[in-house]
Structure formats: C-alpha cells, structure tokens
Amino acid sequence: MTVKHTDFRLIVKRGVQCLLLPLAFVAWCVYRLESLVVGKRTALACWSQCLALLPGRCGILVRWAFYYLAARRCSWDVTIEFGTIMSSPDIEIGRHVYIGAYCVLGDVRLGDDVRIASGVSIPSGGRQHWEQIVPQDGLSPLPEVPNQYRQITIGQRTWIGERAVVLADVGASAIVGAGSVVTSPVEDFCVVAGVPARTIRRLSAS
C-alpha cells in the first residue's frame, strides 16, 4: 500500500508540474524580453524576488516550473523553499535537491541529493563585488575592478548547514557546519566548520 500510495502521489505531482509549465513559459518569455533590456542577471533577480514570496506547496511548484525553464539546468525533483533568491541564470540544480528558506544562490552547480539548510548564501565566488583601488600616495583612485564571477560546485550528497556562507567548491558527501564560512575548497567526505571553515572530521567512504 505504501509503494502504491507513493506512486500515486508522484503521478499527481508530475501532472501538476506539467500543468504549470505552460504558465511558467509565459513568465519565461517576459523574463527573456526583460533580459534584452536589463541583462539576464538583473532580470532573473527581479523574477526570483517575486517568486520567492509565494507561500506553501503551491509556491514550491511555481518556483520549480520557472527555474526549470530559466536555469541552465533544473531537475524535476527539486524543492526551493519560501524566500530563496537566485541571481544567476547559469545555476545548475541536480536531482532530489532541497534548498531551504531564505537562501541566496549565485552561479552554483548543485549535485544530486544536495541538502541546503535555511539562510545559506552561495554567491558567485568571493570576488563578485566591485572594488575601488586607492593608491598609497592618496591621490585620485584608480579605475574600479569589474566583478569577477565564477561557478561554485557543491558535490552530490553534500549537506550545507544553516546560515553558512560558501565561497569555494565543496566536494561530494561533505558536511558544512551551521554558520561556517567556506573560503577554500572542501574535499570529499569531509566535515568542516568555523570561520573560516576548517576540517574537523573525515567521513568513511563506505
């Protein structure tokens, strides 16, 4: 009975997703037209902020439908909770990924079975903000350095704890502790925590 019930729920979910895709296609078309004027990143951020405010299960499904079309890759079994904002159209989301509430994600590649808790920030690398270089002689500043975007990769089956900030790649089957700030790459099967995050334990590959 449990297997049959699960299969029925999956069929219903797939049916709802298929019904939402034509509606999301209209929003996607408007987004693409807007991106011609203001750029893809700005247009996506605008739509992402609006969609983030939709509550409940309905909001989760609507967000999935839009990102399924707008993101570089978004699998069918993805949960994106309330208040989460995406800022890069190059984001890739694998199968069975869970993204908690109030997260901010930039150019990220999320492997299969990744779990991200609430309030996590994964920007497009650690140098995505403009900088103004002031010479040592105190004279007029040099021209600003343009944003430097890079894709952050989160390996499959990795867990990211609540309110962590991830600025570097994280390997597969790793755990990032709550409140940690990841500034250097994390290897597979490692548990890291702290500011900056350091390896505190290695997990068994088996």
Active site residue 129: yes
125 sits in the region (left: phi over 0; alpha: psi -120 to 50; else beta) called left
Long-range contacts of 64-67 (CB under 8 A, 24+ apart): 64/17, 64/20, 65/17, 65/20, 65/21, 65/23, 65/24, 66/24, 66/27, 66/28, 66/31, 67/91, 67/93
Q: Which of 4, 22, 53, 129 is catalytic?
A: 129
Percentages (nearest 5) of helix, strand, coil residues in the chain: 30, 20, 45
Instruction: Show which residues are catalytic.
Output: 129
